Amino acid sequence: MNTRVDSTLAALADPVRRRTVELLGERPRSAGELAGELGLAPPAMSRHLRALKEGGLVEDGHPDFDARVRIYNLKDGATAELRQWLAETEAMWTHQLAAFKTHVERSV
Amino acid sequence: MSGAAVIVALRVGVSPDVAFAAFANDIGQWWKSHPLFRLSRKGDGVLRFDPQGPEGRLVTRFDDGDEWEIGLVRHWVPGERLAFGWRLPSFKAGQATEVDVRFEAVGGETRVTVEHRGWDNIPQEHAARHGFELMLFQRRLGEFWRMSLKGMSERL
């Protein structure tokens, strides 16, 4: 496991952030829209979105028609399922390569 | 979504030729089933490349004698590269991912890099059918960490 997976897990450790990822998995949304749906004050929503960005789960951008509006997406269009698959596959190979290392170095 | 891949690398204290041979020939010995990342409902079984070589396939044999073909060998270059398809029983027919393992000399050792690609081939409803399952995801990964750390501390 590397630090990327670690920070992803940290980002997902909060139920509000998990719900945010679910909502963004449906479609991109603005921070205001997310705050409204989750019943959060804008500053609290910003904090959660920042943590999700740091965890590599979401990214933001501006729609062409309005530079003042910030729209949040799951990063790379990644769905939660893709994230899950990537993290689990990474964990699996980390485990298996460690087992391989033990094996191959024992027989030296 | 193209290019989604997992890359895991690690260094082993043997030559690339020895590492390749052990990876390919001994996979049934070194592959350790992990309760959190099982290949199928029956567990992982015993893996093997059958036959050994570029015309082979990666197969696993379960305790009940059933076999499952995980994938065909795509590249078999001793000491350098081993690539194969990766399809689990939970995948739908025709869906597969690809695993590419590289062996590179680093000093007297070998860096082994596993690249696992191809989420693209798995339609979203396959995994989405089960819902988000984040709690499960977290619990499993949390447990994975605990086991890994425990294993590490036992070796120290």
- Other CB atoms within 10 Å distance of the CB of residue B93: 6
Measured between CB atoms, which of A1, A78, A103 is closest to B26?
Answer: A103
Is A45 within a domain?
yes
Is A102 within a domain?
no
Query: At B156, is the pLDDT very low, low, confident or very high (cuts 50, 70, 90)?
Result: very low
Percentage with pLDDT > 90 across chain B: 51
Least confident of A58-72, B10-24, B83-97, B125-139: B125-139
With CB atoms and an 8 Å threshold, state whether A81 touches B124.
yes
pLDDT value at position A55? 80
DSSP B107-156: TTEEEEEEEEE-GGGS-HHHHHTT---HHHHHHHHHHHHHHHHHHHHHH-
* Contact predicate B69/B50, CB 8 Å: no
Q: Tell me the pLDDT tens digit for each residue of B29-77.
A: 999 888 777 888 888 999 999 999 999 999 999 999 999 999 999 999 9
pLDDT greater at residue B115 or residue A1: B115
How many domains, chain A? 1
- Other CB atoms within 10 Å distance of the CB of residue B103: 24
* Contact predicate B89/B68, CB 8 Å: yes
Give the burial class of A91: count Cβ atoms within 10 A of its Cβ; 0-12 exposed, 13-18 middle, 19 or more buried: buried
Is A30 within a domain?
yes
Give the burial class of B115: count Cβ atoms within 10 A of its Cβ; 0-12 exposed, 13-18 middle, 19 or more buried: middle
Predicted confidence (pLDDT) at residue A38 exceeds the cutoff of 80:
yes
Q: Which of B18, B114, B148 should be substituted to probe chain A, the one whose Cβ sees the most A Cβ atoms within 10 Å?
A: B114
Rounded Cα distance between B114 and B99, Å, is 7
Q: Tell me the pLDDT tens digit for each residue of B125-140.
A: 444 333 334 444 444 5
Is A37 within a domain?
yes
Is A72 within a domain?
yes
Range of A13's domain?
3-78
Average pLDDT over residues A9-27: 81
Q: Which of B8, B106, B140 should be substituted to probe chain A, the one whose Cβ sees the most A Cβ atoms within 10 Å?
A: B8
**What letter would DSSP give residue B31?**
-
Is A52 within a domain?
yes
> Do strands B97-106 and B81-86 pair parallel, antiparallel, or not at all (unpaired)?
antiparallel
Which residue of B lies nearest to A97 if distances are taken between CA atoms? B10
CATH of the domain at A51: 1.10.10.10
Is A58 within a domain?
yes
Is A91 within a domain?
no
Angle between helix axes A80-106 and B134-155 (nearest 10 degrees) is: 20
With CB atoms and an 8 Å threshold, state whether B34 touches A95.
yes
ipTM value for the complex: 0.72
